[in-house]
Amino acid sequence: MATGPLRFVTFEGGEGAGKSTQIRLLADRLRAAGHAVEVTREPGGTKGAEEIRTLLVEGGAGRWQAETEALLHFAARAEHLAHVIRPALMAGKWVLCDRFADSTLAYQGYGQGLDLDWLWTLRRHIVGPTEPGLTLVMDMPVEKGLARAETEQRYERMGVDFHRRLGAGFRQLAAAEPDRCRIIDAARSREEIAAEIAGLIEARFGVSL
């Protein structure tokens, strides 16, 4: 495994911010430069974690208590780390992940009001040293993101105020860890965003794309 920051890049942000598109574009660019890439997502990434994802994204907005949601997310994350993320990193691959632990802090902490210290305790226990080498926070106005969202799942039905708290939470998380996190203006064209991300990857990891 390469020295320096883990080649583990997470994409965070509210609904409809274009994370999946930018992950695909970055994966294509890395592969064209000769790198092996694992593209994955949370909740999900393994059979068991995908089953937990179904529990989380389907049904009514009030289906779960916030504490239950957080524990389900971390249960899925433990499986994901053990069976996908850590083995890929050990094999020398880049890992690009659509959401990771910051989403749990933002959604269940800032969005739903859970105690942030408790969530950080869970994060430290489950994630340990496998923190992302770079986190890209895709930021755009809430109304625009919700209008662009491709699905109609539980979290998208939680109301505009929830999503405003969510966006503010992501920005606070990024501000607290400026070395790891970068806020990306996701309201621009996908080409502009992709070019900025490529530049950040080159600067952070010392690669040429």
Q: What is residue 64's predicted lDDT score, i.e. its pLDDT? A: 85
Domain boundaries, the chain: 9-205
Q: What is residue 128's predicted lDDT score, i.e. its pLDDT? A: 97
**pLDDT above 70: residue 200:** yes
**Residue appearing with tokens 């869970």:** 122
Cis amide leading into 43 (omega within 30): yes
**pLDDT above 90: residue 117:** yes
Q: Are 30 and 94 in contact (CB under 8 A)?
A: yes
In angstroms, the Cα distances linking 7 to 19, 38, 85, 96, 140 are: 18, 10, 10, 8, 26
Q: What is residue 162's predicted lDDT score, i.e. its pLDDT? A: 83
pLDDT > 90 in the chain, percent: 77
**pLDDT above 60: residue 145:** no
The angle formed by the CA atoms of residues 122, 127 and 129, to the nearest 5 degrees, is 130
The angle formed by the CA atoms of residues 141, 21 and 46, to the nearest 5 degrees, is 110
Q: What is residue 1's predicted lDDT score, i.e. its pLDDT? A: 47
Q: What is residue 60's predicted lDDT score, i.e. its pLDDT? A: 72
Average pLDDT over residues 121-129: 98
Q: What is residue 160's predicted lDDT score, i.e. its pLDDT? A: 77
Q: What is residue 144's predicted lDDT score, i.e. its pLDDT? A: 66
User: What tens digit of pLDDT does each residue of 9-54 get?
Assistant: 999 998 777 899 999 999 999 999 999 999 999 999 999 999 999 9
Backbone angles phi, psi at 147, to 5 degrees: -65, -30
Q: Which CATH number applies to 9-205: 3.40.50.300, 3.50.50.60, 2.30.29.30, 3.20.20.70?
A: 3.40.50.300
Structure pTM?
0.91
Q: Which residue has the higher pLDDT, 57 or 202?
A: 202
